[in-house]
Amino acid sequence: MSLIAGREFVLKSGRRVFLRTAKSKDASQIVKLMKCVIAEGPYTLAEPDEYSATVSSESRKISRFKKAPGKIYLVAEVGKDIAGFLSFDNWDTRRTAHTGLFSVFLKKKWRGKGIGKILVQGMIDWGKANPLNRKISLYVFSTNKGAIALYKKLGFKVEGKFLNDMIIDGKYVHSVAMCIFTKRP
């Protein structure tokens, strides 16, 4: 089972954030959050008309991640509001099950307040404690300087770039591949 013990954090503003494993009942808020983040653009792969997750499909994903030893799905709550979430999905083959990719999404009003750091650090801590996980990877738009700075601050290293692999508003954008090892290879 991929679960974490819930933990409370206090932001610089004094607001309390609770980091925990996602529950199926969170699916409605998560789908709504994703629709808002995608509509804002430009740092998502999907455009609004391409996002097809439903409350039911997201609920199934959350349940599947809880049962899988190499996956984790975390939420950050402020009060009863999900301010952001993170999902780490490992590969399903024995040769690659030790690694995978994560995505993190935050409501606009909670960006730059430390919640992204809480989510990513929670995943790193989970990866260090998880017997299967050895490496956490991500791809980030080269134009997302704030996210790149956060990942570097948390110990991620740049592995390379994928040149001109995204088109945003008619312009090519590179993706930056980054990783952190949770255990020495």
Using the predicted structure, report yes or no on whether residue 1 has a pLDDT greater than 70.
no
pLDDT of res. 126: 97
- Grade residue 46 by pLDDT with cuts at 50, 70 and 90: confident
Tell me which residue of 70, 69, 66, 76 sits closest to 104, measured CA to CA: 76
pLDDT of res. 22: 97
> Quick one: average pLDDT of 11-21?
95
Contact 129, 122 (CB under 8 A): no
Q: Where are the domains of the chain?
A: 7-181
pLDDT tens by residue, 103-144: 999 999 999 999 999 999 999 999 999 999 999 999 999 999
For residues 155 and 181, give the distance between their C-alpha atoms in angstroms, rounded to a whole number: 9
CATH 3.40.630.30 fits 7-181, yes or no: yes
User: Helix H segments across 41-114?
Assistant: 55-67
The structure's pTM equals 0.95
